[in-house]
Amino acid sequence: MMAMIEVKHVAKDFKKPIRKPGIVGMMKTLFSTKYTITNAVKDVSFSLERGEIVGYIGANGAGKSTTIKMMCGILTPSSGEIMVDGYLPYHPKQRKEVLKEIGVVFGQRTQLWWDLPLIESLHILKAIYDVSAADYQERFEFLTKVLELDPFLNQPVRTLSLGQRMRADLAASLIHNPKILFLDEPTIGLDVLVKDRMIKAIKEIHRVYNTTIVLTTHNMDDITDLCKRVIILDEGQILYDGPIQAIKKSFGEYRHVSFLTKELIDLVSLQEELGKGIQVSKDDGYIKITLNMAYTSVNQVLKQILDNYKVDDIKISEDTLESIVKKIYETKQIS
């Protein structure tokens, strides 16, 4: 079966003339042949099957938006090839076909007509995408329900709150029932409640339409809630592509036991007492023990603490995806 998205050895370089200061410099810049080259994306390959949801993550400037823009046909790769449902998105003759297949939400800016009521924007999109009346009605009802658009359908987009605007944008990106949805920071700036509703709606859309979704975000909760697979990008290259569970496994062999006691504790001797694979530190009044499960167990550590100290409070935690990903960015490697 053909993959829904196939990215093959794609690279993208941006060429920018080196600017010289002042008006004379500006004139010189115009005729200059000197450039700086940014290799925003270097040799990236992956493929997505129909209905997959993948988290495309990486630090600022890693090349995420550049990849998304190439998959949407806004930018052309410097080398390599991208196929979206069998079409080249940046090919002038195939662009139109690809646009029918994709929906895009850029959290940072709206795609809607600012002064028009949402309902009118949806009507315009219906005409642009040539959606039949029956299809439009079915999707409109579904989207109005899952995204709770009713209260503000008749308001101009510029008067919407950020949460309402994001929901409106998501509805607009889906009115032509695309097979693929690109979400670039869809929950940026949203409060926890609104964010949760947005995530729920995306899940429901995926359940009903089996949409292939590429999600770019800095919010690891979104990734954990929505994706089974992540692609981690670093300086234009893929550092990891696989199940979230596997990263958690390879980095998640650490547990943290934190306890509160009134007793005076010498951290160095505590560390020696507890043995191999243990690190002891202070954390907000608590004594924090980080243990490597390859050497010891939470049970063992708990027993030692409770046998030896009078404990007022105790907490056990594991690394969150957030802290694991931070470690991966820092060490730039994955075991």
Ligand X SMILES: Nc1ncnc2c1ncn2[C@@H]1O[C@H](COP(=O)(O)OP(=O)(O)OP(=O)(O)O)[C@@H](O)[C@H]1O
Residues 6 or more apart whose Cβ sits within 8 Å of residue 313: 259, 260, 286
Taking the least distance from each CB to ligand X, the nearer of 55 and 63 is 63
Q: Tell me which H or E stretch contains 37.
A: strand 35-48
Q: Does 61 engage in binding with ligand X (CB under 6 A)?
A: yes
Contact between 40 and ligand X by CB under 6 A: the answer reads yes
Q: How far is the CB of 201 from ligand X (least distance, A)?
A: 23
Q: Which of 4, 44, 53, 62 binds ligand X (CB under 6 A)?
A: 62
193 and 226 Cβ atoms separated by less than 8 Å: no
In whole angstroms, the minimum distance from the beta carbon of 40 to ligand X comes to 3
Strands 180-184 and 102-106: parallel
Number of chain positions touching ligand X (CB under 6 A): 12
CB of 65 to ligand X, least distance (A): 3
Q: Does 66 bind ligand X (CB under 6 A)?
A: yes
> What's 289's DSSP letter?
E
By C-beta, is 33 or 60 nearer to ligand X? Answer: 60
* Binding residues for ligand X restricted to 13-32, rule: CB under 6 A: 14, 16
Nearer to ligand X, 16 or 262 (CB): 16
Overall residue count recorded for the chain in this entry: 335
Strand pairing partners for 241? 231
If one asks whether residue 110 binds ligand X (CB under 6 A), the answer comes out as no
Which residue, 63 or 186, has its beta carbon nearer to ligand X?
63
Q: How far apart are CA 319 and CA 292, in angstroms?
A: 12
- Residue 149 has a CB neighbour count (10 Å cut-off) of 19
217 binds ligand X (CB under 6 A): no
Q: How wide is the angle at C-alpha 213 spanned by C-alphas 246 and 80, nearest 5°?
A: 85
- What is the contact surface with ligand X in residues (CB under 6 A)? 14, 16, 38, 40, 58, 60-66
